[in-house]
Amino acid sequence: MYAVIESGGKQYKAIPGGLIDVETLAGEVGSSVQFDKVLALVDGGQVKTGAAAQGSIVKATITVQDRGPKTLVFKFKRKKQYKRTIGHRQNFTRVKITEIV
């Protein structure tokens, strides 16, 4: 059994007992969160989408509040002696899926 949830404008596959990295959520490590925007629910061979999946809730626990790996952005204009290097690290929250109701 798994569910497809939406968080932070992105879609994630949530499997009970699995870990997923989502956009930063408010909360301390160890606190529980609920994802009520369930897009699809797959149980064996049955697939529920749309209104049938709207009543479902995915419960999870926050395990880590961290930052991702550094991404380098390099800007360059030829013949103008223009070079700029900028680094960026995106914040994320790692959650452990406890159950799908």
Considering only the C-alpha atoms of the chain, give the largest distance between any 2 of them, rounded to a whole number of Å.
Answer: 60
Percent of the chain surpassing pLDDT 90? 86
> Mean pLDDT for the chain?
94
Rounded CA separation 57/43 (Å): 14
pLDDT greater than 90 at residue 97? yes
Distances (CA, A) of 64 to 7, 49, 53, 55: 16, 30, 28, 28
pLDDT greater than 90 at residue 22? yes
| Residue 21 pLDDT class (50, 70, 90 cuts) | very high
Q: 50 phi and psi, to 5 degrees?
A: 65, -130
User: Which residues pair with residue 77 across a beta bridge?
Assistant: 82
Is the CB of residue 34 less than 8 Å from the CB of residue 27? no
Is the CB of residue 35 less than 8 Å from the CB of residue 60? yes
